[in-house]
Amino acid sequence: MGQRRIVAGFGLAALAAGAVTVAAPQAFAQELAPGVSCEEFGFECSNDTDDTYRVKSTVGCGGSGVATTWHDVTTYVPPRARVTVSTTCSPRHESGSWEHQPPKLGPDGKYESQPPVWEPGDVVPTRPTGVIHQSAVVDNNPPAPAPSGSFG
């Protein structure tokens, strides 16, 4: 009787493991042009053609307790290459507030009110939280890369 329970337990565990495998998310590619695709829920784009493509995407930036903001980005995908969509997110500056100060005891023994003091808001880091790829068009004349800051 004890062996049957163990076998049944292994059977249920195997069945559960199979269900997890089936339910695991897969990377789906969104084809934006023939031979050019981007991960549907990711930041990678690939180009299987002989042309350079300009990919337009919208990237969401947010974080813990920070609302997501969306901004447009352009990524150039060279021929026969795979690149990562630019995902630089700027920190969010929370709004500050005027803080009232307690009265101060003056030299004459009377309390004097103090002016409020401006307290700046916190700077909250953000990170990429999502991407929506919109289009890809042939652009065999991409802009030159920005200087690296090093002198040759």
**Residue percentage of the chain with pLDDT more than 70:** 78
Q: Quick one: 84 and 97 in the same domain?
A: no
DSSP state of 142: P
Instruction: Specify the 3-state DSSP secondary structure of 6.
Output: helix
53 lies in the same domain as 115: no
- Let me know whether 46 and 114 are in one domain: no
Residue 150, pLDDT score:
53
Structure-model confidence comparison of residues 63 and 101, the more confident one: 101
Residues 57 and 117 in one domain: no
Query: How much is the pTM?
Result: 0.62
Instruction: Provide the pLDDT confidence category of residue 48 given band limits of 50, 70 and 90.
Output: very high
The helix (H) or strand (E) run that includes residue 9 is: helix 2-23
The model's confidence at residue 124, banded by pLDDT at 50, 70 and 90, is: confident
Residue 106 — very low, low, confident or very high, per pLDDT cuts 50/70/90? Answer: confident
Q: Is pLDDT at 57 greater than 50 in this prediction? A: yes
Reported as a single tens digit per residue, the pLDDT across 94-104 is 889 999 999 99
CA distance 13 to 7: 10
27: helix, strand or coil: coil
Residue 94: half-sphere exposure toward Cβ, Cα within 13 Å: 14
Instruction: Concatenate the DSSP letters of all residues of 83-140 into one string.
Output: EEPP---PPEEPP-EEE----EE-TTS-EE----EEEPPPEE--EEEEEEEEEEEE-S
Least confident range from 3-12, 35-44, 51-60, 141-150: namely 3-12
The answer to the question of residue 152 being in a domain is no
**Residue 76 DSSP class:** E
Q: What is the pLDDT of residue 18?
A: 39
Q: Are 32 and 75 contained in the same domain?
A: yes
32 inside domain: yes
Are both 135 and 113 inside the same structural domain? no
pLDDT higher for 22 or 69?
A: 69
Q: Say how many domains are in the chain.
A: 2
pLDDT tops 50 at residue 21: no
